[in-house]
Amino acid sequence: MRFDVVTLFPELFGPFVATSFVGRAVETGAATFRFESPREHGVGKHRSVDDTPYGGGSGMVMRVDCLVAALEALDATATTRAHRVLLTPQGRPFDQARAIELSRRPALALVCGRYEGFDERVRSFIDEELSLGDFVMTGGEVAAMAVIEATVRLLPGVLGNEDSTRDESHSPERDGLLEYAQYTRPAEFRGLGVPDVLKGGHHGEIARHRAEERRARTGARRPDLLAKKAT
């Protein structure tokens, strides 16, 4: 899978794409990365990529011409046009279901903003908008990394154990509920033990215990997920 990232700070991604499962995906060829700075397509001798907003207002707005030029420069050297994603607090909330859908695409372009936002006309040149949640950051780079990591780990061969993506929180195979509690050695730590059912070795009882725990934990921590499942 190819990831194209439009960002003013490509240097932020260096350690990220070389570390952990993202680095493994690069090493195995499961994922490739390309970066394009809007600054390369900036205006004037200072290569400006932002300007004051029409109608007045605080801050600066990223120019549509510089961002679209960066996207088109990436497309010009690729055989497949990437699915373009604008990272913005106005976008659709990013979730596991969307990560699964994105992981099935051959190429993804993530557009990171800065300053006070994008010229509205940028939206005419992208395919969807995604948000990490109802909060605002100074740029889209961290959001891009979150989307990349959630997507890369779903690519075949990256995790090594395909079952691990099915037995986790928000997995469609587990009705989108939270994951059950996990334990490992020591069997007891400062008065805190491990449920006997997990040490008994009876697979049917363990499966039932975990199913009950999923639902109880989801009801206690994320009742909205249960409500969504009921609709």
Q: What is the pLDDT of residue 164?
A: 67
Amino acid (1-letter code) at residue 190: R
Domains 2-152 and 166-230 share a fold: no
Look-up of token digits 């279901």: 97
Q: In what order do the strands lie in the sheet with 2-6?
A: 32-36, 2-6, 107-111, 83-93, 128-131
Q: What is the pLDDT of residue 170?
A: 87
How is the chain split into domains, by residue range? 2-152, 166-230
Q: What is the pLDDT of residue 230?
A: 74
Q: What is the pLDDT of residue 163?
A: 65
HEC per residue, 164-228? HHCCCCCCHHHCCCCCCCCCCCCCEECCEECCHHHHCCCHHHHHHHHHHHHHHHHHHHCHHHHHH
Look-up of token digits 């996990």: 182
Helix (H, G, I), strand (E, B) or coil at 43: strand
Q: What is the pLDDT of residue 160?
A: 75
CATH fold for the domain made of 2-152? Alpha/beta knot (3.40.1280)
Q: What is the pLDDT of residue 129?
A: 98
CATH of 166-230, one of 3.40.50.720, 3.30.70.980, 3.20.20.70, 1.10.1270.20: 1.10.1270.20
Look-up of token digits 């207002």: 57
Q: What is the pLDDT of residue 9?
A: 98
Q: What is the pLDDT of residue 174?
A: 77
| pLDDT < 50 stretches in the chain | none
**62 sits in which H/E element:** strand 61-62
Q: What is the pLDDT of residue 168?
A: 78
